Amino acid sequence: MAANYNNSAWFYDRLSRIVYGKALVNAQVYLLKHVPANSNVLIAGGGTGWILEELSNIHPTGLNITYVEIAEHMMALSQKRNIASNKVTFINDAIENIVLSTDFDVVITPFLFDNFTEQTLEKVFAHIHSLLKRDGLWLNTDFQLTGKWWQQVLLKTMFLFFKVICGIEASRLPAIGRRFTEAGYKVVDRKTFFGDFIVTEVYTR
Ligand SMILES: C[S@@+](CC[C@H](N)C(=O)[O-])C[C@H]1O[C@@H](n2cnc3c(N)ncnc32)[C@H](O)[C@@H]1O
């Protein structure tokens, strides 16, 4: 079953701030300095779209952004964001279903992959991989387990909550880092947040 965050759109940001404070935001904003001026950027699973405003604070003009979000309520909130003078193409669909040009300088996948089973991750990862330029940058932020007991507790609680509310398919964290390694990506910048539970990485091939 495909994840559908429609039901959570109106409280998602507030709830995530209550649980994680600013960690989810800081982890993603940390990566944005890597986005070159005048680049062609793909954002997949941007949620309520606050990342568009953060990106536009850094580059008020010159970006050509394709913003793909499957949940229409998330998309409606995203379309109200201040994008300064950048150009944004909004696509309300699953990233793996759409045909796009294959010349993105940067792709951003913020907390997208944790929704998926290994099987879906494989498919979605391969699709996004095919859209990134050979020398492009892939900015990925997600949860990771580093052996602390409370990470498992939080993760299980989140999976259960979002399964009930949004019907997400995952009930365990897929091996996200392994996908990047197997596809030949190398980490050029990395930082962890919230006691290592959140990892934000810049990958290149
Ligand atoms: C966990 S939320 C993260 C939202 C946002 N990136 C943030 O950090 O606040 C995952 C988002 O990905 C979207 N999503 C899930 N599967 C998707 C897919 N296959 N294609 C595009 N968006 C998807 C969901 O609708 C949801 O808004």
DSSP characters over 18-72: HHHTTHHHHHHHHHHTTSPTT-EEEEES-TTSHHHHHHHHH-SEEEEEEEE-S-H
Q: Which of 135, 181, 142 is nearest to 40 (CA)?
A: 135
What does residue 110 show for φ and ψ, rounded to 5 degrees?
A: -95, 110
- Tens digits of pLDDT across the chain (205 residues): 456 799 899 999 999 999 999 999 999 999 999 999 999 999 999 999 999 999 999 999 999 999 999 999 999 999 999 999 999 999 999 999 999 988 999 999 999 999 899 999 999 999 999 999 999 999 999 999 999 999 999 999 999 999 988 888 888 999 999 999 999 999 999 999 999 999 999 999 9
**What CATH number does the domain containing 89 carry?**
3.40.50.150
Q: What is the pLDDT of residue 1?
A: 43
Number of other CB atoms surrounding residue 80 within 10 Å: 9
Residue 64, exposed/middle/buried by CB under 10 A (0-12, 13-18, 19+)?
middle
Q: What is the pLDDT of residue 161?
A: 92
Range of the domain at 87: 5-204
CA of 146 to the centre of ligand 1 (A): 23
CA of 111 to the centre of ligand 1 (A): 7
Q: Which of 158, 166, 159 is nearest to 6 (CA)?
A: 166
Cα–Cα separations (whole angstroms), residue 150 to 6, 115, 175, 192, 200? 28, 20, 19, 16, 20
Q: What is the pLDDT of residue 123?
A: 97
- pTM score: 0.96
CA of 123 to the centre of ligand 1 (A): 16
CA of 59 to the centre of ligand 1 (A): 23
Q: Which of 52, 83, 48, 203 is nearest to 137 (CA)?
A: 203
Pocket-forming residues, ligand 1, beta carbon under 6 Å: 3, 5, 24, 44-47, 68-71, 74, 94-96, 110-112, 115, 124
Report helix, strand or coil for 170. Answer: coil
Q: Structurally, how many domains does the chain consist of?
A: 1
